A and B are shown apart, each in its own frame.
Chain A
Amino acid sequence: MSAFDCVTAARANDRPTSIDYITRIFGDSFFELHGDRRFSDDKAVIGGIAELNGKPVTVIGLEKGRNLKERMERNFGSAHPEGYRKALRLMKQAEKFHRPVICFVDTSGAYCGIGAEERGQGQAIAENLMEMMTLKTPVLSILIGEGGSGGALALAVADEVWMLENAIYSVISPEGCASILWKDSSKTAEASECLKLTSQDLFKLGVIERIIREPKGVESKLFDSLKNLIADTFDKKSRISPEKLIEMRYSRFRKF
Chain B
Amino acid sequence: MDERYEIQIGKVCVLSTKDMLFNFLKPKNELENQGEFAENHPYIPEELWVKCPVCKNAILSSDLVENHKVCPKCNYHFRIAARQRIEMTVDEGTFNEMDAEMTSVNIIDFPDYPRKLRSAKLNSGENESVITGTAEINGEKCVIAVMNSQFMMGSMGTVTGEKITRAFEYATVHSLPVVVFTVSGGARMQEGILSLMQMAKTSGAVKRHSDAGLLYITVLTDPTTGGVTASFAMEGDIILAEPHALIGFAGPRVIEQTIRQKLPKDFQSAEFLLDKGFIDAVVPRNDMKSTLAKLIRLHTESKEEEAETDECV
Residues 219 to 250 of chain B near chain A (Cβ within 8 Å): 226-227, 229-235, 248-250
Is A117 touching B267 in the complex (CB atoms < 8 A)? yes
Is there a chain B Cβ closer than 8 Å to A207's Cβ? yes
Chain A 110-140 against B: per-residue CB contact (8 Å), 1 yes, 0 no? 1011101111111101110111011000000
The reply on B199 being an interface residue by CB < 8 A is yes
| Closest chain A residue, CB of each to CB of B195 | A171
Asked if A171 contacts B187 (CB within 8 A), the reply is yes
Chain A: residues with Cβ within 8 Å of the partner, total of 45
Check if A1 is an interface residue, CB within 8 A of chain B.
no
Selected contact of B203 from candidates A129, A171, A202, A256, CB within 8 Å: A129
Specify which chain A residues have a CB less than 8 angstroms from the CB of B268 in the assembled complex: 117
Query: A169 — nearest CB in chain B belongs to which residue?
Result: B193
Choose from B108, B111, B207, B254 the contact partner of A112 (Cβ within 8 Å). B254
Q: Are B276 and A256 in contact (CB under 8 A)?
A: no
- Chain B residue, CB-CB nearest to A150: B230
Give the residue among A122, A169, A194, A250 with the most B Cβ atoms within 10 A: A122
Q: CB of B259 within 8 A of chain A?
A: yes
Q: Do B232 and A126 have beta carbons less than 8 Å apart? A: yes
Question: Smallest distance from the beta carbon of B68 to chain A beta carbons, Å?
Answer: 27
Chain B residues with CB under 8 Å of A126's CB are 203, 229-235
Interface flag for B200 (CB, 8 Å): yes
The reply to whether B233 and A250 contact each other, CB–CB distance below 8 Å, is no
B189 contacts across to A, CB distance below 8 A: 171-172, 177, 180-181, 195
Among residues of B, the one whose C-beta sits closest to the C-beta of A255 is B1
CA distance A122 to B195 in the complex (A): 16
The reply to whether B231 and A129 contact each other, CB–CB distance below 8 Å, is yes
Q: A256 touching B198 by the CB < 8 A rule?
A: yes
Q: Is A60 an interface residue (CB 8 A)?
A: no
Cα distance A45–B276 in the bound complex, in angstroms:
24
Bound CA span A170–B235, Å: 23
In the complex the two chains form, what is the Cα distance from A145 to B192 in whole Å? 18
Q: Is the CB of B161 within 8 A of A256?
A: yes
How many angstroms from the CA of A149 to the CA of B267 in the assembled complex?
Answer: 23
Size bracket, chain B contacts: 35 or more
A129-B200 in contact (CB<8A): yes
Are A123 and B193 closer than 8 Å at their CB atoms? no
Residue of A nearest to B247 (CB): A122
Question: Which interface residue of B233, B234, B248 has the most chain A CB atoms within 10 A?
Answer: B234
**CB-based contact A253/B193 at 8 Å:** no
Partner of B208, one of A113, A149, A180, A250: A250
Shortest Cβ distance from B52 into chain A, in angstroms?
27
A123 to B233, CA, bound (A): 8
| Most B C-beta atoms less than 10 A away, residue of A133, A134, A207 | A133
In this assembly, does B258 line the interface, its C-beta being within 8 Å of a C-beta of chain A? Answer: yes
Contact partners of B233 in chain A: CB under 8 A: 122, 126
Max chain A C-beta neighbours (<10 A), residue from B1, B194, B198, B206: B194
Q: How far is the CB of A131 from chain B (nearest CB, A)?
A: 8
Q: A170, B249: Cβ atoms under 8 Å?
A: no
CB of B79 closer than 8 Å to a CB of A = no
Ordered by A's residue number, 6 sampled pairs between the chains whose C-beta atoms are within 8 Å are A120-B234, A126-B203, A127-B235, A130-B207, A171-B189, A207-B194
- Using a CB–CB cutoff of 8 Å, the interface residues on chain B facing chain A are 1, 4, 108, 110-112, 158, 161, 165, 187, 189, 191-201, 203-204, 206-208, 210-211, 226-227, 229-235, 248-250, 254-255, 258-259, 263, 267-268, 276, 278
A residues with CB within 8 A of B: 110, 112-114, 116-123, 125-127, 129-131, 133-134, 149-150, 153-154, 157, 169-172, 177, 180-181, 194-197, 202, 205, 207, 249-250, 253-256
Contacts A120-B276, A149-B196 given; 16 further ones with Cβ under 8 A? Answer: A117-B267, A121-B248, A122-B234, A126-B229, A129-B203, A130-B235, A134-B211, A149-B227, A150-B226, A170-B196, A171-B193, A197-B192, A197-B193, A207-B193, A256-B158, A256-B194
